[in-house]
């Protein structure tokens, strides 16, 4: 008897939101995603002790200042973790640019090129890599340029429609709207009552983006992320991709109830007119979206915090 995870895989590309090799082997996703928070967890696992040591040794051999060696070590560790994951998954790995560069287009482009160069030096072609970048105006512009260079991007920390529209207009490969964090904000800041996933503002947001992209023939992939429960995932069955944590993958695998497709390109329609994104309009729309403004800023701060913790861990002898 099939389970919900198997049924979901028949209609959506399932992506593992983890750096845990054993979990990836167990659930056999198409792709996998990492970020500073997941790399911090991975660095504490015995499985990655040798990769961490090799990254330290390699960075030391590159020379440069202490900060440059630390950045090299973090980048090399991220790439080595990604490379090992790619030995298991048939698709792509998403590797994130340092979140401290979220408001610096040129620095983001430079770091992305560096990460791709490290992958290619390790024998991994760029068609198996997605560079994760925060969906700030500067990050979206970096993604636009990188796509022109043949470097595909995953625009992350996406909470508002203005971000989604600008990303599609920039021609980025994939966006990651964060379902659960949108819900978190509404529960903390409004009187919203959730009776079912149909009421979930994160689910509603992803459906709107999906409908908009399909109705206006954008090729940008929609990958729902940051789920709080399996109900959110089931409500988005049929979305291009969904990146899911190991605990929720396990819950889906243990459930043998039916799972219906909820999204399909053939049924796509959108009340949102297609128009090109200009910087002033983007910033104004984002400013009016209190949830997206708050969660984007918080997400960047949290990723920076975990990046600093990773650097502290790496710096230990």
Instruction: HSE, CB side, 13 Å, CA atoms: give it for residue 75.
Output: 25
**Which of 174, 203, 228 shows the shortest CA–CA distance to 30?**
174
Give Cβ neighbours of residue 37 (< 8 Å, ≥ 6 apart): 302, 303, 306
3-state secondary structure of 222: strand
- How far, in Å, CA of 270 to CA of 266, rounded? 12
Residues labelled as active-site residues: 132
Give Cβ neighbours of residue 259 (< 8 Å, ≥ 6 apart): 4, 7, 8, 234, 237
Give Cβ neighbours of residue 310 (< 8 Å, ≥ 6 apart): 36, 39, 40, 43, 74
- How far, in Å, CA of 215 to CA of 269, rounded? 5
CA angle 134, 162, 243 (to 5 degrees): 50
């Amino acid at each position: 008897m099939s389970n919900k995870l198997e049924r979901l895989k028949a209609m959506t590309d399932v992506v593992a939101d983890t750096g845990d090799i054993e979990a990836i082997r167990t659930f056999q996703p198409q792709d996998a995603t990492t970020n500073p928070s997941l790399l911090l967890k991975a660095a504490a696992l015995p499985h990655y002790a040798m990769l961490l040591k090799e990254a330290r040794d390699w960075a030391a051999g590159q020379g440069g200042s202490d900060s440059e060696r630390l950045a090299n070590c973090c980048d090399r560790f991220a790439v080595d973790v990604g490379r090992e994951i790619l030995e298991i998954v048939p698709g792509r790995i998403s590797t994130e640019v340092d979140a401290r560069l979220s408001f610096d287009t040129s620095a983001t482009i430079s770091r992305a090129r560096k990460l791709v160069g490290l992958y290619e030096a390790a024998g991994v072609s760029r068609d198996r890599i997605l560079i994760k970048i925060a969906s700030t105006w500067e990050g979206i512009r970096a993604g636009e340029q990188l796509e022109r260079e043949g470097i595909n991007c995953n625009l992350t920390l996406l909470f508002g429609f203005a971000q989604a529209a600008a990303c599609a207009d920039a021609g980025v490969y994939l966006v990651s709207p964060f379902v659960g964090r949108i819900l978190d904000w509404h529960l903390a800041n409004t009187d919203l009552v959730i009776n079912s996933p149909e009421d979930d503002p994160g689910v509603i947001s992803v459906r709107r983006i999906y409908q908009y992209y399909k109705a206006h023939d954008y090729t940008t992939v929609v990958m729902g992320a940051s789920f709080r429960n399996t109900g959110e995932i089931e409500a988005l069955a049929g979305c291009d991709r969904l990146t899911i944590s190991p605990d929720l993958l396990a819950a889906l695998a243990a459930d043998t109830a039916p799972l219906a497709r909820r999204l399909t390109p053939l049924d796509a329609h959108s009340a949102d007119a297609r128009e090109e994104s200009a910087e002033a309009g983007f910033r104004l729309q984002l400013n009016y979206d209190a949830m997206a403004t708050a969660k984007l800023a918080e997400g960047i701060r949290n990723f920076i915090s975990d990046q600093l913790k990773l650097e502290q861990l790496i710096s230990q002898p």
